Amino acid sequence: MMEILVIRHGQSQADLENRHEGRADFPLTELGHRQARVAADWVKQHYPHELIITSSLRRAHKTAEIIGETTGAPVHLEPALMEWNNGLLAGLSRSEAAVRFPYPEGGRRPHDTFAETESMIEFRARAEMFWSQFTHEFVQPKRHQRVALVSHGGMINMLFQCFLGLPVISDVLFSTGDTGIHLWTITPKGRRAIFTNRLEHLRFL
């Protein structure tokens, strides 16, 4: 059996400023650092892992570094785990974006690259590429018993869809709070989501 911890980064500066984040590379806030530290302590106590694979964006990379320092696990940067490429929206306040780039009539379609963004089909394809490579490099050879993936809310949602084999066009969404933790297992008998969006480590912050 292999266990996969999937962890979202802590609070970022964009959250405080109500900005579109995506590929905008905002740092963690002080609260975000504290969230990462308590998440690291919780992971070390309950699910210590052997390797961390993280998005290269600062908010995720720093979260992974903090967890790695606490658990002793090495950190590997993986650009494929970056958040949705939101093109011209990146870094804009939500109010400014609503004026400069109002949503197309009828809403965004799966193939849309509106405002020079990655389409939802392209986003899912990127997640599938990562998942396939991860499976062949880490799961099938059984190189590790437990690996942590540190990423972003949108990408974690896409990884969930890959893990569960949902169709490319799906209205099923999975929410993840700041430093929310999910646990998946893969065995010869199949895949299981053991828990989702665990946040109990934040209760004393």
Residues involved in catalysis? 9, 83
* C-beta separation of 27 from 13 below 8 A: yes
> 95 is written with which tokens?
């109010």
> 75 is written with which tokens?
């950190």
* C-beta separation of 42 from 200 below 8 A: yes
Across-strand partners of 185? 3, 192
